[in-house]
């Protein structure tokens, strides 16, 4: 008689471990030989802190396998000497705040292979609360290859990234002071923002400076308007009849001074940014090198790209995109074209500020990611669907901050009125899945296009909204034919009625 197959309830009930057995398994996992294959030998684990760092090596490498070193530079060099004396080749640490950066730089210059692990990958194990146990736990995990190394761009890209992030914060601070000035003017019932669109422009700042210098005549202030302002002098003068208050004028003066200071800081950042960008080498994609050898892979899109550039020059437009006032004053587009090897600005929705953020974060070397989808996953733009038992389950996606993904979402959102292939694709996705999902999908698509251009050096040529609509109609026709064939019918084109 065949043995009856146990149900899931019976199998789990009979195979449930008691408390003593679970403790034995945990001790085995915590022992020196948990039965896993060793991937990295001669490993050291570092628990990074603010005042000191705990460093752990294997018990056979030193009589005192765990030591504490201070965070000052002299002790960091002592730590390097001790690790070399122990024969350490690999070092693993967590990205804790900014405390790890100094340790990482010292170890990298000393020749160690440093693995920077994400704290989310190691935090879910209970009982590892002390600094000594944390360093030993990192050592074991990396010994058996259970930790992933985080991406860190090269030093020259990090220098550009530092200045660009600082410049972005200064632009945001300057925008905050503009709102501060507008609030002060509204408090005094000076409705300047109703007459002109931007009080931080030439006309707005000239009027504000004249007010702070003592000018109160609204018609004299209105004469400071620029010729491009659509509002007349009388309209501007009526909006400048306010209730002048000494305390609010002092507040306005402080806001204007802070705004001018931020503008000077931004100009200093532009000088430093231009210096760092000039030091970056020209980008030579692998496919371009092959095409020079005679494969001809680059030459397929070259005529179309030249035709597109001639069309833009003939129409008198550079690329159909307005330049932002907050972008650097030097020719940023030409500089990034040299660094990237291609003009990424020819992509609809992508401007020089988007390119600057992309280059300053991951850089131009796309060989760090095996495929375009790996880059999309790193940007947290890939679809997220948690599954359990082969079925999707509702789970809140962990929050991540990625500056490149943010600017790509902004670029994707600007495609809503674009008369291009990408614009038609965005509108199609938005009609089917809604705007939020369409923005995320188009941001991922833009990331793939940029990655492809940087890898292969081929220019992006817009195929037009009509081609996208034709392809969509063809897909729908084929889908209807398959459905009709499955039901035993056949589609026939409708006869045209001649009136």
The answer as to whether 470 is a domain residue is no
Q: Which helix (H) or strand (E) holds 237?
A: helix 233-239
We report the CATH number of the domain holding residue 106 as 3.30.420.10
Integer Cα distance of 464 and 285 in angstroms? 27
Q: Is 294 found in the same domain as 241?
A: no
Q: Is 433 found in the same domain as 298?
A: yes
Q: Which residue has the tokens 């990237």?
A: 340
Pair of tokens at residue 190:
């000076």
The answer as to whether 205 is a domain residue is yes
Q: Is 337 found in the same domain as 440?
A: yes
Q: Is 248 found in the same domain as 311?
A: no
> What are the C-alpha distances in Å from 358 to residues 184, 256, 340?
37, 32, 11
Which of 221, 250, 278 is the last residue before a domain boundary? 278
Pair of tokens at residue 322:
């307005």
Q: Is 264 found in the same domain as 119?
A: no
Q: Is 307 found in the same domain as 433?
A: yes
The answer as to whether 320 is a domain residue is yes
Q: Is 130 found in the same domain as 249?
A: no
Query: What is the predicted pLDDT for the residue at 56?
Result: 92
Integer Cα distance of 223 and 236 in angstroms? 9
β-pairing, 113-117 vs 90-94, is parallel
Q: Is 247 found in the same domain as 181?
A: yes
Integer Cα distance of 341 and 492 in angstroms? 50
125: helix, coil or strand? coil
Query: What is the predicted pLDDT for the residue at 303?
Result: 42
> What are the C-alpha distances in Å from 494 to residues 491, 497, 499?
9, 9, 15
Integer Cα distance of 227 and 222 in angstroms? 12
381: helix, coil or strand? coil
Integer Cα distance of 428 and 228 in angstroms? 38
Average pLDDT per consecutive 10 residues, the chain (499 residues; last block may be shorter): 59 57 61 69 91 90 90 93 93 90 93 89 63 85 88 92 95 95 94 90 93 92 90 90 92 96 96 94 60 35 44 40 73 91 91 93 91 92 76 71 92 91 91 92 94 88 81 85 87 69
> What are the C-alpha distances in Å from 372 to residues 317, 365, 398?
32, 12, 22
Query: What is the predicted pLDDT for the residue at 276?
Result: 95
Which of 278, 309, 334 is the last residue before a domain boundary? 278
The answer as to whether 44 is a domain residue is yes
Query: What is the predicted pLDDT for the residue at 38?
Result: 84
The answer as to whether 454 is a domain residue is yes
Which of 111, 143, 175 is the last residue before a domain boundary? 143
The answer as to whether 235 is a domain residue is yes
The answer as to whether 191 is a domain residue is yes
Q: Is 229 found in the same domain as 127?
A: no
Q: Is 217 found in the same domain as 297?
A: no
Query: What is the predicted pLDDT for the residue at 30?
Result: 56
| Sign (positive or negative) of CA dihedral 18, 19, 22, 27 | negative
Domain containing residue 204: 157-278
Integer Cα distance of 27 and 176 in angstroms? 56
The answer as to whether 9 is a domain residue is no
Q: Is 437 found in the same domain as 304?
A: yes
Q: Is 74 found in the same domain as 163?
A: no
Query: What is the predicted pLDDT for the residue at 320?
Result: 44
Domain count, the chain: 3
């Amino acid at each position: 008689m065949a043995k009856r197959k146990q149900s899931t309830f019976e199998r789990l009930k009979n195979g449930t471990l008691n408390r003593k057995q679970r403790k034995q398994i945990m001790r085995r996992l915590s022992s020196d030989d948990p039965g896993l294959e060793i991937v990295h030998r001669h490993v050291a684990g570092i628990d990074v802190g603010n005042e000191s760092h705990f460093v752990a090596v294997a018990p056979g490498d030193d009589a005192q396998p765990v030591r504490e070193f201070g965070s000052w530079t002299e002790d960091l060099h002592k730590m390097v000497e001790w690790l070399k004396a122990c024969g350490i080749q690999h070092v693993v640490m967590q990205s804790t705040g900014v405390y790890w950066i100094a340790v990482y730089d010292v170890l990298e210059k000393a020749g160690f292979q440093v693995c920077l692990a994400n704290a989310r990958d190691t935090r879910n194990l209970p009982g590892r609360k002390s600094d000594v146990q944390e360093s030993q736990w990192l050592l074991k995990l990396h010994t058996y290859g259970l930790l992933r190394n985080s991406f860190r761009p090269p030093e020259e890209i990090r220098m550009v990234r530092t200045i660009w992030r600082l410049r972005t914060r200064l632009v945001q601070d300057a925008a905050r002071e503009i709102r501060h000035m507008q609030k002060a003017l509204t408090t005094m019932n000076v409705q300047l923002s109703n007459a002109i669109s931007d009080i931080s422009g030439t006309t707005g700042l000239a009027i504000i400076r004249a007010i702070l210098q003592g000018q109160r005549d609204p018609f004299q202030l209105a004469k400071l308007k620029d010729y491009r302002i659509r509002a007349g002098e009388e309209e501007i003068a009526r909006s400048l009849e306010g209730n002048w208050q000494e305390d609010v004028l002092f507040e306005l003066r402080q806001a204007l001074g802070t705004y001018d200071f931020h503008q000077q800081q931004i100009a200093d950042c532009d000088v430093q940014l231009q210096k760092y960008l000039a030091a970056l080498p020209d980008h030579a994609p692998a496919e371009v090198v092959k095409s020079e050898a005679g494969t001809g892979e680059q030459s397929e899109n070259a005529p179309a790209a030249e035709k597109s550039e001639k069309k833009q020059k003939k129409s008198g437009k550079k690329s159909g995109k307005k330049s932002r006032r907050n972008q650097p004053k030097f020719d940023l587009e030409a500089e990034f074209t040299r660094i990237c090897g291609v003009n990424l600005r020819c992509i609809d929705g992508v401007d020089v500020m988007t390119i600057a953020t992309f280059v300053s974060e991951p850089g131009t070397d796309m060989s760090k990611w095996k495929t375009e989808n790996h880059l999309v996953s790193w940007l947290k733009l890939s679809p997220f669907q948690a599954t359990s038992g082969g079925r999707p389950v509702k789970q809140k996606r962990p929050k991540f901050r990625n500056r490149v993904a943010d600017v790509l979402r902004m670029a994707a959102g600007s495609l809503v009125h674009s008369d291009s292939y990408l614009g038609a694709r965005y509108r199609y996705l938005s009609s089917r899945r809604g705007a939020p999902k369409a923005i995320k999908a188009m941001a991922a698509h833009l990331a793939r296009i940029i990655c492809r251009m940087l890898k292969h050096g081929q220019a992006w040529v817009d195929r037009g909204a009509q081609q996208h609509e034709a392809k969509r109609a063809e897909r729908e026709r084929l889908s209807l034919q398959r459905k009709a064939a499955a039901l035993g019918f056949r589609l026939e084109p409708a006869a045209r009625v001649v009136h």
